[in-house]
Structure 1
Amino acid sequence: MARFANRDALKEIHRVLEPAGGFGMVWNIEDYNAPLSWKIHEGWEAVMRDVVWSFHDAVPRFRHEKWRQAFDSHDSSSDDNSPLFSLPLGEGIEEFETWLSKEEIWNRLHTLSQIAILEGEELGKVRTKFDHAINSDDTVTDDQGRVAVHGRTYFAWTRSIPSKSAS
């Protein structure tokens, strides 16, 4: 939903749902990729969130927290300015913790598009910051050397409001 956080995307979702059909969204957000408004775990996760946030591109992402605005916006240039989905959205959060090797964590970080596109020296700088943060004395590891990764599963739901033409 983050990449499609606009009225046109919601119109298309509304179009394919049955009248009063349910619509749910689920995101699994690790602390290192969390919105700045979220309180996260200290240590390597906070360091890497700062690194992730240091890369700016024009792509809306969940962490920018703009997706809700699509539900609140009304297209004033359209004759049909009516709401598409019932508000307020239902929302919930479940925290999670998983244990991964340092290399598995790096591999996950490297799937974030703003890091995945980096090459050469730029990628090397990010890897150095990661290695320094994850190997700090504050990083807790289990007996297998795995590191705790914290995050939240965030979910939201609503129902489509039947259009006048569907009545």
Structure 2
Amino acid sequence: MPVVHKAAQVGFSTQAGTYNQGRPDYPDELSSWLRHTLGIDVQSSVVDLGAGTGKFTRLLKPLTDHVTAVEPVEPMRQEFAKSLPDTPIVHGTAESLPLADASADVLVCAQAFHWFANETALAEIHRVLKPGGRLGLIWNVRDESVDWVAEITRIITPYEGDTPRFHTGNWRQPFNGRYFAQPELTCFNYAHSGPAETVIMNRFLSVSFIAALPDPEKAAITEQLRELIRTHPALRGRQTIEFPYQTQAYLCRRLD
């Protein structure tokens, strides 16, 4: 079984509950994209790879009863089972899926593909998908044109080290024309609405490489985030904050 990156294994193990509380949901329009662009209907067999606590799996459940979740981190699977007890979730990684050949119509990865963006993973996903199958990649991307969002990025970025990140664009490299066509992008605007404790503190303390830090460094980041909330005019004294995101959804067509 391939090794899970340390930041994911440690960070997501220690912060599975916080992750579930702090991560944004998804725009309503994404359900239409799943139906019409990825082609999910009531008969579709769908795999949610890197399912985590099941935040994205909840969007799939109204579309089809044939959903299987795959997640390598045990505490995440435990959180998933609490909220989606009727949905099967199995231990596995993108490079070693415990699924039969040509057993899925669609495979989706939400907030996850950058962790395993390599040709071995794409070959394994290709194996599991049926001819004509579709791979869907989804990320909620912070809108850093907003100054206080950019300031959050400035606070956390020095700690990311070698952690795989969506913003580097390295996740595109395995799409070399062998297993899948080039990703086709659809964008949606989205705002995560809630108190600062949820949409900022829980959200960023559950970031993998932050959650995996030693306590003194984590405390320093916590204080910087709280100071931003206390002092920024757009955040100070607000009971509800609208955290702006752009949801990027990519269709990748399986090549036969």
Q: State how far apart, in whole Å, the 1-side matches of 2:155 and 2:210 are.
A: 9
Residue 128 of structure 1, aligned match among 217, 220, 223 = 223
Give the match for residue 175 of structure 2: 71
Mapping for residues 110-129 of structure 1, pairs under 5 Å: 110-129=205-224
Total equivalences in the alignment: 143
Mapping for residues 46-85 of structure 1, pairs under 5 Å: 46-72=150-176, 83-85=178-180
Cα deviations across residues 35-92 of structure 1 (Å, max 9, x unaligned)?
xxxx43112x1111112211133231212221111113xxxxxxxxx611123x2101
Residue 147 of structure 1, aligned match among 224, 229, 241 = 241
Give the match for residue 109 of structure 1: 204
Q: State how far apart, in whole Å, the 2-side matches of 1:65 and 1:156 are.
A: 13
Q: State how far apart, in whole Å, the 2-side matches of 1:132 and 1:140 are.
A: 10
| Structure 1 residues without counterparts, runs of 5 or longer | 32-38, 73-81, 163-167
Q: Quick check: 2:156–2:221 contact (8 Å CA) kept in 1? A: no
Q: State how far apart, in whole Å, the 2-side matches of 1:57 and 1:140 are.
A: 29
| Structure 2 residues without counterparts, runs of 5 or longer | 1-112
Higher Cα radius of gyration: 1
Q: Quick check: 1:91–1:154 contact (8 Å CA) kept in 2? A: yes
Q: State how far apart, in whole Å, the 1-side matches of 2:250 and 2:156 are.
A: 24
SS of residue paired to 2:247: strand
Q: Quick check: 1:28–1:151 contact (8 Å CA) kept in 2? A: yes
TM-score, normalised with respect to structure 1: 0.77
Give the match for residue 100 of structure 1: 194
Which structure 1 residue ranges, 4+ long, deviate > 6 Å from structure 2? none
Q: State how far apart, in whole Å, the 1-side matches of 2:234 and 2:211 are.
A: 24
Compare relative contact order (CA 8 Å, sep 6+) and give the higher one, 1 or 2.
1
Q: State how far apart, in whole Å, the 2-side matches of 1:133 and 1:18 are.
A: 49
Q: State how far apart, in whole Å, the 1-side matches of 2:241 and 2:231 are.
A: 12
Give the match for residue 35 of structure 1: none
Identity %: 27
| Structure 1 position 141, deviation (Å) | 6.6
Cα 1:141–1:130 shift into 2, 3 Å: closer
Cα 1:137–1:27 shift into 2, 3 Å: closer
Is 2:233 the partner of 1:138? yes
Root-mean-square deviation (Å)? 2.0
